[in-house]
Amino acid sequence: MGRRALSHRHSPESLEDASKWHTRALEEMASNHVPEGQKAAAKVLSQTIQTQIINRISARLSLEGLIDEILLIFQGRPDLLESIWPSLERISYSNRVRDDWVTVARSQHEQ
């Protein structure tokens, strides 16, 4: 029986790259002059969102490590793996990150 694959997975490297890219973008955003009026509020909002993105990527990165660790612990024990699988699927779904958060870093890097 072939092993099912968990959905929403990303490689640690791509997540690390994405985290770096978003952090750099956030730093750049913070270093710009703060415009007046609504633009200032929009900037604060986008910085908050950017921070959230970085946090979610960081959580996903940690989760990827956890999933790999559990797969290793249950290696050779398909019965136990089967038993924990629904939990892994639920956590993986709850912590999915948007593909464009990850691909933006790659596409920018390639440019």
* Residues that bind another protein in the complex, under the rule CB under 8 A: 55, 58-59, 61-63, 66, 69-70, 73-74, 77, 80, 83-84, 87, 90-91, 94-95
Residue among 68, 72, 56 nearest 15 (CA) = 56
Residue among 98, 5, 11, 18 nearest 63 (CA) = 11
Output the smallest distance, CB 44 to another protein, in A: 22
Nearer to another protein, 94 or 108 (CB): 94
Angle of CA points 91, 96, 102, to nearest 5°:
145
Q: What are the φ/ψ torsions at residue 10 (nearest 5 degrees)?
A: -135, 155
Nearer to another protein, 71 or 104 (CB): 71
Nearer to another protein, 6 or 59 (CB): 59
Output the smallest distance, CB 90 to another protein, in A: 6
Output the smallest distance, CB 12 to another protein, in A: 13
Output the smallest distance, CB 78 to another protein, in A: 12
Angle of CA points 51, 52, 57, to nearest 5°:
100
Nearer to another protein, 87 or 103 (CB): 87
- The DSSP call for residue 8 is T
